[in-house]
Amino acid sequence: MNSLKYCIETPTMVYKVQPKLFEKFKMAHRGSVLATVVGIALAVIFIAFLIPVALNQFYAVDTTNWTDASVVSMWGLIPLFVIIGIVVTVIGYAIKEYVL
Protein backbone atom coordinates (compact mmCIF):
# COMPACT_ATOMS: atom_id res chain seq x y z
CA MET A 1 0.00 0.00 0.00
CA ASN A 2 2.93 2.33 0.62
CA SER A 3 3.95 2.16 -3.05
CA LEU A 4 0.64 3.79 -4.04
CA LYS A 5 1.66 6.88 -2.10
CA TYR A 6 3.89 8.00 -4.97
CA CYS A 7 1.49 7.46 -7.86
CA ILE A 8 0.21 10.08 -10.28
CA GLU A 9 -3.14 9.27 -11.82
CA THR A 10 -4.26 10.47 -15.23
CA PRO A 11 -7.60 9.63 -16.85
CA THR A 12 -6.00 6.71 -18.70
CA MET A 13 -2.99 5.54 -16.63
CA VAL A 14 -1.37 5.47 -13.21
CA TYR A 15 2.33 6.33 -13.05
CA LYS A 16 4.66 5.29 -10.23
CA VAL A 17 7.33 7.93 -9.64
CA GLN A 18 10.22 8.57 -7.28
CA PRO A 19 9.39 10.45 -4.05
CA LYS A 20 11.37 13.57 -5.05
CA LEU A 21 9.61 13.78 -8.41
CA PHE A 22 6.27 13.27 -6.71
CA GLU A 23 6.97 16.22 -4.39
CA LYS A 24 7.87 18.39 -7.40
CA PHE A 25 4.53 17.52 -9.03
CA LYS A 26 2.69 18.39 -5.82
CA MET A 27 4.48 21.76 -5.61
CA ALA A 28 3.71 22.50 -9.28
CA HIS A 29 0.03 21.82 -8.61
CA ARG A 30 0.05 24.17 -5.62
CA GLY A 31 1.56 26.87 -7.82
CA SER A 32 -1.14 26.51 -10.46
CA VAL A 33 -3.86 26.67 -7.81
CA LEU A 34 -2.29 29.78 -6.31
CA ALA A 35 -2.00 31.41 -9.74
CA THR A 36 -5.67 30.66 -10.41
CA VAL A 37 -6.75 32.17 -7.09
CA VAL A 38 -4.64 35.31 -7.64
CA GLY A 39 -5.97 35.65 -11.20
CA ILE A 40 -9.57 35.39 -10.06
CA ALA A 41 -8.95 37.92 -7.27
CA LEU A 42 -7.44 40.42 -9.71
CA ALA A 43 -10.28 39.90 -12.17
CA VAL A 44 -12.87 40.57 -9.44
CA ILE A 45 -11.05 43.77 -8.42
CA PHE A 46 -10.86 45.03 -12.02
CA ILE A 47 -14.50 44.16 -12.66
CA ALA A 48 -15.59 45.87 -9.44
CA PHE A 49 -13.96 49.12 -10.58
CA LEU A 50 -14.71 49.01 -14.31
CA ILE A 51 -18.32 47.79 -14.48
CA PRO A 52 -19.82 50.88 -12.77
CA VAL A 53 -17.88 53.19 -15.10
CA ALA A 54 -18.95 51.21 -18.15
CA LEU A 55 -22.60 51.20 -17.08
CA ASN A 56 -22.55 54.97 -16.46
CA GLN A 57 -21.08 55.58 -19.90
CA PHE A 58 -23.52 53.19 -21.53
CA TYR A 59 -26.60 54.82 -20.02
CA ALA A 60 -25.26 58.38 -20.53
CA VAL A 61 -25.40 58.01 -24.33
CA ASP A 62 -27.88 60.42 -25.91
CA THR A 63 -29.65 58.71 -28.81
CA THR A 64 -32.10 61.55 -29.56
CA ASN A 65 -29.99 62.95 -32.42
CA TRP A 66 -29.38 59.59 -34.06
CA THR A 67 -31.13 59.44 -37.43
CA ASP A 68 -31.09 55.69 -38.09
CA ALA A 69 -33.95 54.02 -36.19
CA SER A 70 -32.43 50.55 -36.49
CA VAL A 71 -29.29 51.68 -34.65
CA VAL A 72 -31.38 53.12 -31.83
CA SER A 73 -33.39 49.88 -31.63
CA MET A 74 -30.25 47.77 -31.53
CA TRP A 75 -28.79 49.98 -28.80
CA GLY A 76 -31.69 48.97 -26.58
CA LEU A 77 -31.00 45.28 -27.19
CA ILE A 78 -27.38 45.36 -26.05
CA PRO A 79 -28.20 44.58 -22.36
CA LEU A 80 -30.17 41.53 -23.50
CA PHE A 81 -27.18 40.26 -25.50
CA VAL A 82 -24.89 40.84 -22.51
CA ILE A 83 -27.16 38.78 -20.25
CA ILE A 84 -27.39 35.99 -22.84
CA GLY A 85 -23.58 35.99 -23.14
CA ILE A 86 -23.11 35.73 -19.37
CA VAL A 87 -25.64 32.89 -19.09
CA VAL A 88 -24.05 30.94 -21.97
CA THR A 89 -20.58 31.42 -20.46
CA VAL A 90 -21.68 30.16 -17.04
CA ILE A 91 -23.48 27.16 -18.55
CA GLY A 92 -20.44 26.34 -20.71
CA TYR A 93 -18.15 26.51 -17.69
CA ALA A 94 -20.47 24.30 -15.65
CA ILE A 95 -20.68 21.71 -18.42
CA LYS A 96 -16.90 21.69 -18.87
CA GLU A 97 -16.20 21.35 -15.15
CA TYR A 98 -18.92 19.01 -13.97
CA VAL A 99 -20.16 17.01 -16.95
CA LEU A 100 -17.21 16.36 -19.26
Backbone angles phi, psi at 9, to 5 degrees: -100, 135
Query: What is the average per-residue pLDDT within 66-95?
Result: 85
* Spatial separation of the C-alpha atoms in residues 98 and 100, rounded to whole Å: 6
* Confidence (pTM): 0.44
Query: What is the average per-residue pLDDT within 2-9?
Result: 56
- Residue 86 predicted with pLDDT over 50: yes
Tens digits of residue pLDDT in 36-61: 788 888 988 998 898 888 888 888 88
* Spatial separation of the C-alpha atoms in residues 13 and 67, rounded to whole Å: 64
